[in-house]
Amino acid sequence: MGKSDDFGGQAQFNARIEPDFALTKLKENPADAIYERMILVVPYRAGDKVKMIEATFEQLNLEGLNLPNARYLNTKELTEEDKNNRELDFLGGFELIDKEMRLYVFEGLGGIGKAMNRFYLANERQHTNDKRFKMLYNPDIRFKNRIYMDFNCAIKKIKLRDSLSDTIAVSDIYLRSKVPEDMYYTLQQFAEMRKLDRQNLVRDFNLYPSSENLLTLERKYGDSLSLYDLTGQKPKKRRRKAPTDGGTDDGRSVGMSYGTGTV
């Protein structure tokens, strides 16, 4: 079994059996760093992985927010009470999509039995990071605050018109008159995040984009989402019905001529 990020095998074993002190610390000091983050990168055409990732996210949030079905996740807006409740156990985050890959960034409460831990166990990788599946996650790296609550409790999906590689290769990206500093910085954050293999480097280099910059990125470089983008499942082609009673699809008898209407 592969290791996840710098979360080694022994640390993984210990993490599963040690008592969870997160809630105790929270009650002692509400400002403590209690949230974890995770980065996942999979190919665009990785339907089974996309289905598993999103189904786990959905199920954990339905349970954590006590919602009856998935429709409520897409319409629910977090109240101020929800946002201020640091014990509310749900996942938040976004997915950046282009024609080459899907990059997910999730955040949630850390600790054994909490949503982030349960998500990790359900999607734990079975091999080292590669182009088929990359997970950056370290439960020892925690953050004081959530940064994606503007996206509520559903995955915010942003599709780029061009691939990230093509977008950052355009020379205009270096012209501040055409590409503002915040957009240049956000694109570079993703380019670096995609290359790294350790979550501590993502944290140390401050590569998590803000929700505000993500919304600006969507407006400037975004494209409409297809069913394939949303689900990771290629739509099945509808098969045409076979003609019956000796007829053709356009209602003519078999052998009938277009020009004369005769056989």
Buried b (16+ CB within 10 A) or exposed e, 208-222: bbebebbbbbbeebb
**Residues 81-115: pLDDT tens digits?**
999 999 999 999 999 999 999 999 999 999 999 99
Taking the alpha carbons of 8, 12, 18, 20 in that order, is the dihedral positive or negative?
A: positive
Q: Is the pLDDT of residue 259 over 80?
A: no
Chain centroid, CA 141 distance in Å: 20
Rounded to two decimals, what is the model's pTM? 0.79
Residue among 61, 146, 43, 151 at smallest CA distance from 101: 43
Q: What is the pLDDT of residue 46?
A: 93
**Residues 189-227: pLDDT tens digits?**
999 999 999 999 999 999 999 999 999 999 999 999 999
Q: What is the pLDDT of residue 251?
A: 52
Q: What is the pLDDT of residue 232?
A: 83
Average pLDDT over residues 250-256: 49
- Distance from first CA to last CA of the chain, Å, rounded? 69
Per-domain residue ranges for the chain?
Answer: 9-231
Query: In sequence order, what are the beta bridge partners of 104?
Result: 40, 95
Tokens of 122: 């359900």
Residue among 105, 103, 118 at smallest CA distance from 159: 103
Position 124, amino acid:
E
Q: What is the pLDDT of residue 19?
A: 41
Three-state SS at 180: coil
Residue among 239, 262, 259 at smallest CA distance from 249: 239
Q: Where are the beta strands (DSSP E) in 9-114?
A: 35-43, 92-97, 101-109
Q: Is the pLDDT of residue 20 over 50?
A: no
Average pLDDT over residues 11-28: 41
Interacting residues of 33 by C-beta distance below 8 A, sequence separation 6+: 142, 143, 144
The secondary structure element, H or E, covering residue 190 is helix 181-195
